[in-house]
Structure 1
């Protein structure tokens, strides 16, 4: 059975409006359930570094889909906060490789159940199949334009 919007009016005509409103809801739920200090992008970086320790700063930026200056600022902030460690890349001395610090590993473990709670809150009105379909559709919106 399809989900009906709570609003009895029609859905907004533009997808962007719905995406923006969904992002605002995500941000509000994130702040209330997870952290005011760790952003969802920082959390994603922690997960990536947990899965692939030693990635370059550039590779992390590519996986997070952020530009070079944004990833440089993000990494600097996370190093300053003791969540990640940066070392010279043994292959390319102009680059850094990144690792979770002990504090970053501990923080990731503590945050993971809260992040899972955000997922449950955001998709509470959807079936499991609808949640999976929503993720597929959003991912399709992010594919490169041809």
Structure 2
């Protein structure tokens, strides 16, 4: 039976295949280095709420580039896990504003160096310039405005 090593050009010919494989590696390294309970999207939410406390759920979803049902589930899970708290928005009663809890701040501080280690592991074979170029190129794959 052929293995992936028998067809290396077929596996690297398509950008989507490389992006998928890179994402799989990211997930594997994340699970081993950071957390099996906090996802990279949850971590990103913690970082955003640290920088912009009191943003509403829609704004957080926009920042994370996730749809309304996904952000609602994410926020509900993080509230349940006592990482964030949700309050009624004083301006828009249909909306919630979000804040890190003390446990969320502690979790963020604990995870941040581990996340930096994931970055180091994933890009270990790249120079600083290549890391910056990789980020630029990956960003260029996203729709305009992201």
Partner of 1:41: 41
2 CA distance for matches of 1:127 and 1:56?
A: 38
- Name the residue aligned to 2:84: 84
* Inter-partner Cα distance in structure 1 for 2:140 and 2:63: 16
Paired residues in the alignment total 140
Residues 1-146 of structure 1: pairs in structure 2 closer than 5 A:
9-10=8-9, 12-144=12-144
Give the Cα–Cα distance (whole angstroms) in 1 for the partners of residues 50 and 91 of structure 2: 21
> Shift of residue 13 of structure 1?
1.4
Moved over 6 A (4+): none
Return the TM-score normalized by structure 1: 0.92
Give the structure-2-normalised TM-score.
0.92
Distance in 1 (alpha carbons) for counterparts of 2:117 and 2:144: 30
Q: Gaps spanning 5+ residues in structure 1: where?
A: 1-6
User: CA offsets per residue over residues 63-114 of structure 1, 9 Å max, x none?
Assistant: 0000000000000000000000000001100000000000000000000000
Backbone CA RMSD of aligned residues: 1.7
